């Protein structure tokens, strides 16, 4: 993960791009992976941990109706998170993460390991649904960060 974070920071510096994150189930691990790299201050703009629904609504302006209708762990919530993060941060690349790291909190429809990653670069926005099966909490958080770093690496 450190090598990939290093590669991402170098590419961001090279292309003079700024990046921001809104994290939920990873609790700041993605931000930490970037800020652990020397020189990251040139590219890292903002990291927000919106762990609670209230924080998603109050800080990221995710509409309450999205959380009520689809839940905090949904493509709709992830999309709203990344769009609004982009407005707040003004970064070139914005990333949002919301999911269920477990070991509790999963359901049949939304099992432990379900994670959405949203990416906005310029006017292009994608959300990626991931299901990391048979993993513990820390593993889900780490694989989510690695997946996000790979996505970032591919779009820079």
Distance CA 59, CA 2 (A): 29
Verdict on whether the full-model pTM lies above 0.85: yes
Q: What pLDDT, on the 0 to 100 scale, is given for residue 46? A: 97
pLDDT tens per residue across span 65-119: 999 999 999 999 999 999 999 999 999 999 999 999 999 999 999 999 999 999 9
128: CATH = 3.90.950.20
Q: 106 is in which domain, residue-wise?
A: 2-137+146-155
> How many Å apart are CA 72 and CA 110, to the nearest integer?
11
| Cα–Cα distance measured from residue 24 to residue 81, given in angstroms and rounded to the nearest whole number | 10
Mean pLDDT of 17-24: 98
Q: Nearest 5 degrees, angle CA 4-CA 9-CA 11?
A: 95
The count of structural domains within the chain is 1
Q: What confidence score (pLDDT) does residue 1 get?
A: 72
């Amino acid at each position: 993960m450190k090598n990939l974070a290093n590669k991402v920071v170098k590419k961001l510096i090279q292309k003079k791009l700024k990046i921001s994150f809104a994290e939920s189930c990873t609790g700041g691990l993605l931000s930490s992976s970037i800020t652990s790299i020397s020189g990251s201050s040139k590219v890292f703009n903002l990291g927000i941990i919106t762990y609670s629904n209230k924080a998603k609504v109050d800080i990221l302006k995710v509409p309450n109706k999205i959380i009520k209708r689809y839940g905090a762990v949904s493509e709709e919530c992830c999309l709203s998170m990344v769009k609004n993060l982009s407005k707040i941060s003004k970064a070139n690349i914005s990333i949002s993460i919301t999911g269920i790291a477990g070991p509790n909190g999963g359901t049949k429809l939304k099992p432990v390991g379900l994670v959405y990653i949203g990416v906005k670069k310029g006017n292009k926005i994608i959300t990626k649904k991931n299901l990391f099966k048979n993993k513990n909490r820390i593993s889900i958080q780490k694989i989510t960060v690695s997946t996000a770093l790979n996505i970032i690496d591919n779009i820079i």
